[in-house]
Amino acid sequence: MIKESVFKSFDNKEALEAQLAERIAKQLQEAVDIRGKASLVVSGGSTPLKLFQLLSHKSVEWSDVYITLADERWVGGESDDSNEKLVRAHLLQNRAASAKFQGLKNMFSTPEEGCEMTMEQLAHFPRPFDVVVLGMGNDGHTCSWFPCSKEIELALSTDKLCVAVNPGAAPNPRISLSKTAILASRQIYLHIVGEQKLAVYRQALENEDANSMPIRAVLGQHKTPVDVYWSA
């Protein structure tokens, strides 16, 4: 059994998003106040869209906030599969438009070829990351740590910042921050919605085999604070 992290449940998505946006904004501003800059890592997918929109209106010194992605599909920036496109459309708007965003995709044709350049482009990011927002798939993946990929053990063991991942059961080759990179942060939020994701989360707590349910690599450690935000 994995010792449960902080688990906060909400009656509806709106209440979750309002509280999480407020908390993230406060933590980012505190980081700017203390260290002069802050770093935020966000995930793609459908869950965080409203959270991004709420965050974009928050009174944070966004020009001192560095934002990147937990993972990216290796597709063009105009593709509807692009997480960068999603972040530019929903988060890098309003007040947050002045944030310093660095995507993970570059001009190389594969993530394997582009990985080194991606890591060079992230080398200047404030680390440990101040805030990391993760989602979770129904297979227990987070970031692009897919249990069906041949790179899953590497993603969960390498000391490098990024890994290329070729998921069998999901579209597009990916680049992902590694477990080492994600856990080198001050605060992780796992943002999940719906009964099915709750059941997957509960199943993840049952044992520590992260290769089969990679979210366990995050839930099973207690060095980095992990707060789970769930709503029906």
- With CB under 6 A as the contact rule, the residue among 5, 29, 43, 68 that binds ligand 6PG is 43
- With CB under 6 A as the contact rule, the residue among 103, 111, 114, 137 that binds ligand 6PG is 137
Residues in CB range of 57: below 8 A, 6 or more apart: 94, 95, 96
Query: Residue count at the site for ligand 6PG (CB under 6 A)?
Result: 14
* Amino acid, single-letter form, for residue 135: G
Kindly report whether the peptide bond that precedes residue 48 is cis, defined as omega within 30 degrees of 0: no
68 part of the interface to ligand 6PG, by CB under 6 A: no
* DSSP letter (8 states) at residue 3: P
Residue nearest ligand 6PG by beta-carbon distance = 135
70 part of the interface to ligand 6PG, by CB under 6 A: yes
Nearer to ligand 6PG, 25 or 41 (CB): 41
Select from 10-18, 108-116, 139-147, 205-213 the region that touches ligand 6PG (CB under 6 A). Answer: 139-147
162 part of the interface to ligand 6PG, by CB under 6 A: no
- Can you give 122-147 as a three-state secondary structure string? HCCCCCCECEEEECCCCCCCCCCCCC
Residue 59's nearest CA partner among 96, 109, 16, 7 is 96
Interaction residues for ligand 6PG, span 13-42 (CB under 6 A): none
Query: If DSSP codes are grouped into helix, strand and coil, which group holds residue 39?
Result: strand
Interaction residues for ligand 6PG, span 142-161 (CB under 6 A): 142-143
Q: How far is the CB of 124 from ligand 6PG (least distance, A)?
A: 23
CB atoms within 10 A of CB 95: 16
**Residue ranges binding ligand 6PG (CB under 6 A):** 43-47, 70-71, 83, 135-137, 141-143
